[in-house]
Amino acid sequence: MAELLLFAEDDALEKFVGTLAVRIAQEHGLSVKLRVRSARGGFGKVLQELQRFAAACDQGREAVPDVIVVAVDANCHGLNDRRAEVEASAGGIVRERLVIAVADPHVERWFLLDGAAFRAVLGHGCQAPDQKCEKDRYKGLLIRAVQDAGVQPLLGGIEYAEDLANQMDLQRAGAADAGIRRFLDTLRARFNLLTG
């Protein structure tokens, strides 16, 4: 069994990315034990927790998992800049096992990338959104898409994160979004190392 440790800046990223990670592991014939280290407090908190964890691993105070996933929103800082910030916080052996998921600009956009998956989960499709940097834009689009399906979103739509991640056509999503494609490609490569 492979051990996967997830650092996520919020519940939406934890649920969506964690589900995708388990799904990809299963595609590789791996069973995984998923642990969540940080899921609240935003980007800065994730970086602090990652730095502490990396230092503890380098000093032998923490066991190093097979895969370490860090899931963050770009928040209009760009995919490459966010990746660089995360990589700078992960030292030593942690960097070798690091897989970074950067939702650009926000993870709620990923929820809406596959209208067919949205229809399978909520009974009504949605339009894949464009990519603009506006605070809370994608949260609003997700809420509207859930309401258009005749459902009242109790948690802003993130209550459907796992179902959407399981139904999503990953090839279609990767073609529509560079951040999700990069995450999935890197995760698959890491799992290939474990199974090869």
**What's the confidence (pLDDT) of residue 161?**
98
- Give the C-alpha separation, 108 to 3, whole Å: 27
User: Is the separation of the CB atoms in 5 and 32 below 8 Å?
Assistant: no
Amino acid at 159: E
Q: Mean pLDDT, the chain, as a whole number?
A: 94
**What's the confidence (pLDDT) of residue 144?**
97
**What's the confidence (pLDDT) of residue 121?**
98
The residue-averaged pLDDT of 78-105 equals 93
pLDDT band at 91 (very low <50, low <70, confident <90, very high): confident
pLDDT tens figures, 152-167: 999 999 999 999 999 9
**What's the confidence (pLDDT) of residue 92?**
84
**What's the confidence (pLDDT) of residue 13?**
96
Whether residue 41 has pLDDT greater than 90: no
Whether residue 36 has pLDDT greater than 90: yes
pLDDT tens figures, 105-150: 999 999 999 999 999 999 999 988 888 888 889 999 999 999 999 9
Whether residue 196 has pLDDT greater than 80: no
pLDDT band at 176 (very low <50, low <70, confident <90, very high): very high
**What's the confidence (pLDDT) of residue 133?**
86
3-state secondary structure of 136: coil
- Give the C-alpha separation, 141 to 114, whole Å: 14
| Domains by residue range for the chain, with CATH | 2-107+164-195 (3.40.50)
Picking from 167, 151, 72, the residue whose alpha carbon sits closest to that of residue 113 is 167
Report the percent of the chain where pLDDT is more than 90.
Answer: 86
The residue-averaged pLDDT of 16-26 equals 97
- Give the C-alpha separation, 26 to 3, whole Å: 13
Greatest C-alpha distance within the chain:
53
**What's the confidence (pLDDT) of residue 88?**
93
Q: How far is CA 183 from the centre of its chain?
A: 8
- Give the C-alpha separation, 3 to 110, whole Å: 25
H-assigned helices in 6-148: 11-27, 42-58, 79-89, 92-96, 107-111, 115-122, 137-148
